[in-house]
Structure 1
């Protein structure tokens, strides 16, 4: 069943005493990423800025929502290569569904931080959550109720100076917030698991707004986990499956799998049989895909937006140039 909030974690993502002793400081590398982005923006700013459509509505039918030149935008589903209609919101990552949008905005500084903005159908801000770190992933549930994000942070005592991740959840109906889900009780290979190096990222929601899937890493390994929001617990399903995305019918996940070469390849997983199928995309894809329809996924590659069949057949297709963070219409 769908609960209004999980019973175990404290509000606003309060962590255990051990974890409260750690507060993230973002790497200098992350600062350089933001500086590079700012420099690129300064170059683009010499060209006339696109004029935002004041009637922009994320629920308008027949459109694909995406990020174009840093702004939330829309293109016709019948012609994704068309010039985009630009909205008023600028995001580094975003996801939208059923009239609710999650927009992650990087805030340069020392250390950099992130603002997670909840926007209505006209992109008007309704809530703001301050986060540590640099934006990485954003995902809304199909109903528009549940929002999840992942940010890159560092400084955790276990992390030895490298990046770690914090993933949060927000129930937009009740307002219940968890800024870091790393304390969710985890069962790994059938046994209750405890470790200071647990990290989660890449959440995807089922249609009931209760079941979710995500990646967890610990001891140098990554696992696909299935979570229960109401019961506030998670269990591993298999190893080496990152950034999952659940199909609209809830039967399949598409994820990125790390190969021995260090590259990631997109695979589909049948949840009933646990059989995996490689997709036709042969490039290394570092993205959490979104579903365009029941049989097709979308993802960022080389600065553009591409699609591929989720059954492994066909060939990848270019959807839109200079685009990312796609969301199919509800």
Structure 2
């Protein structure tokens, strides 16, 4: 039985009504505690113009957070690459990689919010082409060779960038997505598929199979990293954990849907804040006692090849002290049983 890697998400749960110092202090405490408990990754995502939730931009935010937990690998989970300039992003992430001593993973995805695309003056119908071209440009800019190419959206004329990551070729690239097309794209263009928490358990297995099939069809390795998120609540009993999951997830999923999240392998029912109506805990979450959570995570490792599990303790409306207790319980009663070998 091979050990797993564990990551912590300093999740945005506040909007503009909460002083920024509170969010900073809570996230700093979270990653420090996670490092002490044996977590080895921290993950920060990206959104723009968030009113309900305040997303600080991941590259500077991870740089700052890494000073509180300097042994942890930082993961951009995810950068909305279809909205980014690849020259700017290549140098930002290369800088992050240098500042963390090579402990960086570049997680990227398309994005889904029409509000964000409009703000950047981008036609959302071009997001796949923009994403693919941007990622190709970034890999060229990290190649250590002169770059001279003209694409549909960007142009770089015969330059050898001095800003390079610590590793030849750059950090690992994890590509997010939840449709079969997105997962197959991740298989072709990325080093790993970073699975989001939205697909059902059966949906996750089907998407993992599609990823491996696409890798094999293109002669690419199938034994690499498989990082994923599943929403997880640990409690004394399964019934208690299910109730906590319904209460904690309702507002979050309502926010995602208001931003435009939808499509294949996405929860379709509208959650009613405070009730959890429409959240299929049985099909989407890992819930139960510590031993039940260990069993479920072990099955993901053994049956699907999961290598990294990304854990979220913070939820909208949940007091920080409760999130820290959930982190501590996971770190003491679940994580050690999965880290070693047997």
TM over 0.5: no
TM-score, structure 1 normalization:
0.30
TM-score under structure 2 length normalisation: 0.29
By relative contact order (CA 8 Å, sep 6+), the higher-ranking structure is 2
Bigger fraction of residues in strand = 1
